[in-house]
Amino acid sequence: MIDNDTSRGTGGFGEILVSSRSLGEYQAMFALTEDDLGRRILDCPGGAAGFTAEVNQRGGDVTACDIAYFDRGIERVAATAVAEADRGNRYVREHADAYRWTFFADPDEHHRARRESAEHFAAHTRTSPDRYIPGQLPTLPFADNSFDLVLSSHLLFSYADDLDYDFHRQAITELARVATTEIRLFPLVPIGSQGRYEQLEKLLAELTLVGISSRIVKVDYEFQAHADEMLVCELAT
């Protein structure tokens, strides 16, 4: 995928995408239950995902946080979200063999879903800009224990070539600081790789020393080939 931010490297995939996954994709990749969706949730990085819009419109309580909201300003992220969905889809078409066509039947369906999600995001930023907070991992602008559940998709582990081991350790520790109960991260497979982030075992061992225990959970979602596991970090209360 070409998801990333220009100022932090690109994993060799060109300028970084601010991607727009939907509530449906989040439910599948994070195995979210209805109970989970009723919790105070942080989505970091939120990118241009429709998740925050869709859950808040159902009466939920989700906040999105992303460095792009600083770099580009939320209005500009909203204005370019659909074009970013087009750009992401072009990449997927060019590399269709690197994807499993089960969640999406084909590249056309992927394109429709991501565009729709980008439109949801853009509309919601206009009515509820307070739900989109600029922030840069590994330092977030939230008090300790501000959220019950923190979700983090397609940044950590995905960009292993650009984000070093210390960044991963600090970022997860920071996500844990702002959560009371649990963090879920997806996927565990770097872009262009066929297996888990190489330093995952070492990282998880180090995190246990600061009270963050974790388990790897297989989920019923695989789009990037081989990426069908999430990391669940449970926090000592």
Which chain residues interact with ligand SAM by CB under 6 A? 3, 5, 8, 17-21, 45-47, 49, 66-68, 136-137, 153-155
Residue 228's φ and ψ, nearest 5 degrees, are -135, 30
Q: How far is the CB of 19 from ligand SAM (least distance, A)?
A: 4
Q: How far is the CB of 159 from ligand SAM (least distance, A)?
A: 8
The smaller minimum CB distance to ligand SAM, of residues 49 and 203, is found at 49
Give the pairing of strands 40-43 and 147-153: parallel
The smaller minimum CB distance to ligand SAM, of residues 18 and 53, is found at 18
The smaller minimum CB distance to ligand SAM, of residues 3 and 214, is found at 3
The smaller minimum CB distance to ligand SAM, of residues 32 and 236, is found at 32
The smaller minimum CB distance to ligand SAM, of residues 47 and 212, is found at 47
Closest among 190, 196, 189, 179 to 235, alpha carbons compared: 179
Closest among 192, 151, 198 to 172, alpha carbons compared: 151
Calpha distance 178→231 (Å, rounded):
17
Q: Taking the CB of residue 218, how many other CB atoms lie within 10 A of it? A: 10
- Crossing angle of helices 74-94 and 107-127, in 10° steps, is 170
The smaller minimum CB distance to ligand SAM, of residues 140 and 207, is found at 140
The smaller minimum CB distance to ligand SAM, of residues 62 and 68, is found at 68
Q: How far is the CB of 237 from ligand SAM (least distance, A)?
A: 26
Q: How far is the CB of 3 from ligand SAM (least distance, A)?
A: 2
Q: How far is the CB of 103 from ligand SAM (least distance, A)?
A: 13
Tokens of 221: 């979602």
Tokens of 226: 């081989």
Q: How far is the CB of 108 from ligand SAM (least distance, A)?
A: 19
H or E element, residue 114: helix 107-127
Residue 205's φ and ψ, nearest 5 degrees, are -65, -40
How does DSSP classify residue 106? S
Q: How far is the CB of 34 from ligand SAM (least distance, A)?
A: 21
Q: Return the sign of the alpha-carbon dihedral for residues 225, 113, 91, 93.
A: positive
